[in-house]
Structure 1
Amino acid sequence: MGQSASHFQFTKSKYIPTLKVLQAAMFDFRYDPHAHEEYAFGVTLSGRQDFFSGGQYHRSPPGNVIIFNPDDVHDGQPGGDHTLDYVMLYIHPDQVKPLFDSALGQEKTVSFRYDSTLVQDMALRERITNVARLITTSTGSQIDQENALYQVIERITQLGGTYQPGYISTRPDALLGLAKEYIHAHLDTDLSLEGISQAAHLSKFHFLRLFRQQLGITPYQYVINCRVNAACSALEQGASLSEVTFRYGFTDLSHFNRRFKRIYGVTPYQYQRHLIC
C-alpha cells in the first residue's frame, strides 16, 4: 500500500457475539478523542502508533500490544513518516466477564481493568493476532475462536490488572456514573448540560470541571461519542442510515458521516457494509 491513503476494514466473528476485528493502515488520518464501550486489544504491526490516553502520551512501535479498557478515552495517529499498520480486537465487557472469571478463578462476575496501556509481551501479541487471523480469514470452528479468545483473556490476567467482585466507586466516580447513566438513557433526546448536571447532583460549573478532569473530554464530546457508538450498534443490527441519523440527533447524513468517520475511520455506510453480509 502506498503512503497516500488510509484503509480500515472491520470484520465480525461468525461465532462470538460482539467480537470484531479492525485491520487498519493509517497514513493521513487521525482519530478524534473518543472511547468505546468495549475492551480493545491491539497489536502494532508496522510503523508507529502515537496516541494520548490516561493523561499520558504514548508511542507504540511494532510488536507492542495496546489495551484499552471500556470507556478509556484516547485518540490516535501514525508516528513518523511511515504508514501505521495495526490490528485491534473489540469485545463487549458482558461477553468476556465469564472468561475473566474463569481465568481469575472467581465464581462471580468481576469488574476487570488492565492497569497499563502499552504491553511488551510476545505471548499476548501472538494470541491477539491469532484471534484476528481466525476471524478475518473465516477459518477454524466456533470452539477454535472461543479457545483463542480465552487464551487472550488468560494471558492478560497473568500479566496483571485489577479486579473486584463489584464496582466500588469514589464519590466523583459515583456522581459521574449518574451523569453517564442519564446520557445513555437519553441519547435520542435533546440533551442539555443543565439536565445532565442535575442528574449528577452537581452545579453546572462543578460538573463541567469534574467531567473534564475525570474523563479527559468535555460532556459535549462524550455525548457525541456515545451517540456515534449507539449508532454503530444500530447499524450492526441492520438499521437504515436515515433512521440512525435522525434517531441520535445528527442534523443530516453529512453531519453523521463526519462524526462517525472521526471515530471509526470509515463512513457509517462502509461500516455497515463491512459487518452485514
Structure 2
Amino acid sequence: MIYPLTLLIAAAFTPGQTAVQGPRPAPVAGLEPRTVAASGPSYADLVDLSDAARLVAMATVRSAVAVERERSPGLRPGTVRLYIEADVDSVIRGTAGLPKRIVYLADVPLDSRGKAPKIKKQRMILFATGTAPTGQLQLAARDAQIAWSPATEAMVRSIQRDLVTANAPPIVTGISSAFFVRGSLPGEGETQIFLNTASGDPASLNVLSRPGQARRWAVAFGEILDESASVPVAGTLGWQRLACGLPASLPPGSLQGLEPAQAQAARSDYRFILDSLGPCGRTRPTE
C-alpha cells in the first residue's frame, strides 16, 4: 500500500527529535572494543537511541525511494531522506501489536557516487517513538535506522535488558555539588560529588585518597554509597551514563563554600574520574 508521502514528511521529524547529546562528546580513539565496533554505531550511540525510543524492532527493507531534497526539511549535507517500506521480523522492545508491514522515513548517508544507497532486502534495527495503526512508523531520530549485524543486535538486546531492570542507572544531566574533606593524615582525603539526573533519582561519586595507597573512586546510583560500589566497566549502562553525561569540569557553582585548597583537591579528584572513564565515544552528528 502506498501512503501519502506529504503526510509522512510533515510528521517525520518533529522539532527537538534529534540525537541525545551529552555535554562531553569525544572521539572514539582508545575505547575498548566493547564500546566501539569496527563500523556502525558505538555503544553510546545505541544507548542514546534506546533512551529516545519506546519501540525497538528488526525489519527487512522491501523498498526504499529517495525523497526530493526540496521536500526534505532539515536534511543534512551528504545525506538523503528515504521513504521505506519494510517487513517487521521481530520486536525487541515495545508493543507486540506492531503491524507486519511498516513504512517510515529515514535519513541515510549518500554512497560514494553521491547517490541514495541500495538497501532493499537489507535487515535493519529500528528505534521508534511509536506507530500508527496504518503502519506509519515514527523513528526516534533522523538516523534511528541501524544496519543489522549479529554484534549490533546482541549489543542492542543487552541495552534493552539493562534499561528495564530494577535500579537501572539514570541519565546523568549534570553536577549539583561537590565536597572535599581532608583526613587526619597527610595526603588523606575524600571527595564526594552529587549528580543531577533526568529522573531525579540520587546518584553520587566518591573518591578516596589514603597515604601509600592508590587513589580509588566509586559511583552510587542510589541514596547510599555502600562497600559494593565500584567503578563501572566500559560498555555498560552505568559507564555510559557517566562517560557521556558528566561535564568536562566541575561547575564553579558546585564548589561554593569550599576553601581554595579544598576546591582544587575536588577538581583533581574529578579529573581522575574522567580519565578513568575515558571518552564517551558518541559518533552520531550533533544538531
Higher Cα Rg, which structure: 2
Whose helix proportion is higher, 1 or 2? 1
Q: As a proportion of its length, which structure holds more strand?
A: 2
- Fold shared, TM-score > 0.5 on shorter chain: no
Q: TM-score, normalised by structure 1?
A: 0.30
Q: TM-score, normalised by structure 2?
A: 0.30
Q: Which has the higher contact order (CA 8 A, sep 6+)?
A: 2
